[in-house]
Amino acid sequence: MYKYLIWDFNGTILDDLELCLDLLNVMLEKQNKPKLDVPAYKHVFGFPIKDYYIQAGLTFDSWSFDQMSQFFIERYQPASFECQIHKGVIETLQASIQMGLKNIILSASQTDNLIEQTKILNIFQYFDYIIGTDNIKGQGKIERGIQLMKETGIDPNSCLYVGDTIHDAEVAKALGVKVLLYTGGHQSEARLRTVNERIIYEISDIINVIKG
């Protein structure tokens, strides 16, 4: 049934929640705002990133969104090399390839950063396409996904998309593909269930879905 497995990266493949929360709290501390714990973070995180920052308590009076984005990525990118890949990712990638599927990363992260991360984490070789954006603001994921589908002629009915946020459900809907939402990432299960998509608790559950 499926020929392509489309993966979100941050929070789905890479377990970077604690890193992202730590950097958010550094920014909040710089503005003398209360820090967030994991449940609070999972309650407010989302896209657009600028809206999420506002929900978290940040303001742009003396520190612009562009400056925050630069501050974040300069610290996030090198630190992300120390993050772990979620349990079951490698095994799922290998199993899907053995079943004849092609694997694609579709992320709101900048493409060059994604390529660097996947190479350092030693997973670059598993992916047929690594599709990111041209900016560090988390903008343009839907547009890049649509461009991929048009340029490759991939049939949406042959794709299964895996992500960890409501935005991933929005991306999947825009592409016309089926989606699974993983509870181990950046948003709470309760929020994910508001979009009525299929939920998985382990990355390895993807294989059972592929098998039908």
- For the chain, the three-class secondary structure string (H helix, E strand, C coil) is CCCEEEECCECCCEECHHHHHHHHHHHHHHCCCCCCCHHHHHHHCCCCHHHHHHHHCCCCCCCCHHHHHHHHHHHHHHHHCCCEECCCHHHHHHHHHHCCCEEEEEEEEEHHHHHHHHHHCCCHHHCCEEEEECCCCCCCHHHHHHHHHHHHCCCHHHEEEEECCHHHHHHHHHHCCEEEEECCCCCCHHHHHCCCCEEECCCCHHHHHHHC
pLDDT at 199: 96
pLDDT cut 70: percent of the chain above it? 98
Check pLDDT > 60 for residue 91. yes
What rounded mean pLDDT belongs to the chain? 95
Local confidence band at 138 (pLDDT 50, 70, 90 cut-offs): low
Check pLDDT > 70 for residue 47. yes
- The predicted model gives 109-113 an average pLDDT of 92
- The predicted model gives 58-65 an average pLDDT of 94
Local confidence band at 56 (pLDDT 50, 70, 90 cut-offs): very high
Local confidence band at 46 (pLDDT 50, 70, 90 cut-offs): very high
Residue ranges of domains in the chain: 4-15+85-211, 17-80
- The predicted model gives 54-62 an average pLDDT of 96
Check pLDDT > 90 for residue 166. yes
Which one is the CATH code of 4-15+85-211: 3.40.50.1000, 3.90.190.10, 3.40.640.10, 2.40.128.20? 3.40.50.1000
